[in-house]
Amino acid sequence: MSQQVPSATSTSVSANGQFNPFAMAQAQLDAAAEILGLDPQIHALLREPLREMQVSLPVRMDDGTVRVFKAFRVQYNDARGPTKGGLRFHPNETIDLVRALAAWMTWKCAVVDIPLGGGKGGIVCNTRELSAGELERLSRAYIRQIGRILGPEMDVPAPDMYTNPQIMAWMADEYSVLQGHNDFGVITGKPLGLGGSKVREDATARGGMSCIREAARLLGMDTRGKTMAIQGFGNAGQYAALLGEELLGVKVVAVSDSKGGIYAPEGLPASAVVAHKRATESVRGFPGAQPISNRELLELDVDILVPAALENQINAQNAPNIRAKICAELANGPTTPEADDILYRNGVYVIPDFLCNAGGVTVSYFEMVQNAYNYYWNAETVKQRLDEKMTAAFHAVHETAQRLKVNNRMAAYCVAVQRVAEAVRLRGWA
């Protein structure tokens, strides 16, 4: 008989009725804690960030005026090692979202069994409104304010939404200037010329493909010729399309971005769609494809669905209409707890976000290792070690789900929370 976990419906919203991602993250932890019989003191510690910093960043704009940007860094838990997590530039960034993402990074690092804790950062800004010079000054201003709590042995940021290797390079340089010596290991996701790791650019999607491959094997599915739909066509979504074709032999039939989506039942050539997106900044208007909305894409009758956009996309309203056999979450928090229950009952095999998209932080960890001893691996070595980590993590989660008779997300939480709780216990924190 499957275990009953507490409902997160009432705790995923704030007092004003708005969706609260951190409340959702806490509710998911609470459910895992109940299943594990977690010590109440450790549970209380794991429900909140250990440290967080909010700052204001004055930046000189090109027209000579000074604009002040709000920014955050959350170090959720470092019981297993230095905190690690992306840095997002987004106009709708909030402290609660950063807290949730830092919590998920804690579980993500633990579920793939790398010796790091979870952190996350964000700047409230719209990169499309900033020139290259303004973007550089903003990036350096962030390090001048936040740099005091960063470092290879403390907290290591990485690229995330609307940040990239060039931004990471500016930040690594600014940190090195402040330290008085080169210290490029403070940042991962850097260009190769500044100590970046090979395979980092497609690592998130590549790790997801390892998980999809293993899920398909468990389900007796030959992925060659199977259909895939991808919601969100940023870095992870684009590489999911390219690597889905290359590694799994799937047929990508639909993709979407913030401006719209396209659908072609006979299949979309991934490389051509990526080229069209990069040339026009949208997948819309791709020759031979028909328009489709994000909602319609999620509900397509496909074998593999890849949510690679924003959080809260699959919810109680549309979950009953999800027809994919495998839902591989490359986005953070795309499925609400209410939707999780529905998908589980309907037999959709969900590969939860902090397992499915852990390839990025895994290769970031590899970059930290390479930076630490100043010796760099070839691409095949990185790919092999990434696949080994992702495969082992996938099966640890699947076996836990089968043993506890819970859905895969709850199983991933149980694996990760147990590992972090053990570190907390061993260190005598609770």
Residue 2 and residue 115: Cα distance in Å, rounded?
Answer: 32
Q: Which of 351, 381, 399 is the last residue of a domain?
A: 351
Average pLDDT over residues 382-408: 97
The share of the chain scoring above pLDDT 90, in percent, equals 89
Res 270 pLDDT > 60? yes
Q: Is residue 308 part of a domain?
A: yes
pLDDT confidence band for 16 (50 / 70 / 90): low
- pLDDT value of position 70: 98
User: CATH no. for residue 176?
Assistant: 3.40.50.10860
Average pLDDT over residues 247-252: 98
- pLDDT value of position 10: 40
Please check whether residues 213 and 291 belong to one and the same domain.
yes
User: CATH no. for residue 272?
Assistant: 3.40.50.720
Q: Is residue 343 part of a domain?
A: yes
**Domain assignment of residue 312, given as a range:** 203-351
Q: Are 197 and 171 in contact (CB under 8 A)?
A: no
Is 297 exposed, middle or buried, given 0-12, 13-18 or 19+ CB atoms closer than 10 A?
buried
- pLDDT value of position 330: 96
Q: Which of 14-18, 35-39, 153-157 has the lowest mean pLDDT?
A: 14-18
Active-site residue, from 84, 108, 120, 383: 120
Helix residue ranges per DSSP H, 292-378: 294-298, 337-345, 353-356, 359-373
pLDDT confidence band for 24 (50 / 70 / 90): confident
* pLDDT tens, position by position, 184-207: 999 999 999 999 999 999 999 999
∠ CA 418-395-29, nearest 5°, is: 30
Q: Is residue 41 part of a domain?
A: no
Average pLDDT over residues 403-428: 96
Res 4 pLDDT > 50? no
Q: Is residue 127 part of a domain?
A: yes
Q: Tally the domains of the chain.
A: 2
Q: Please state, rounded to an integer, the average pLDDT across all residues of the chain.
A: 94
pTM for this prediction = 0.90
- pLDDT value of position 311: 79
Res 368 pLDDT > 70? yes
- pLDDT value of position 259: 92
Q: Which residue has the higher pLDDT, 6 or 191?
A: 191
Average pLDDT over residues 22-26: 90
pLDDT confidence band for 9 (50 / 70 / 90): very low
Please check whether residues 210 and 313 belong to one and the same domain.
yes
Average pLDDT over residues 91-117: 95
Q: How far is CA 180 from the centre of its chain?
A: 33
Please check whether residues 82 and 177 belong to one and the same domain.
yes
For residue 57, what are its two tokens?
């960043």
- pLDDT value of position 21: 85
Please check whether residues 153 and 208 belong to one and the same domain.
no
Please check whether residues 248 and 320 belong to one and the same domain.
yes
Q: Is residue 30 part of a domain?
A: no
Residue 124 and residue 118: Cα distance in Å, rounded?
Answer: 20
pLDDT confidence band for 13 (50 / 70 / 90): low
Q: Which of 317, 351, 385 is the last residue of a domain?
A: 351
Q: Is 325 a catalytic residue?
A: no
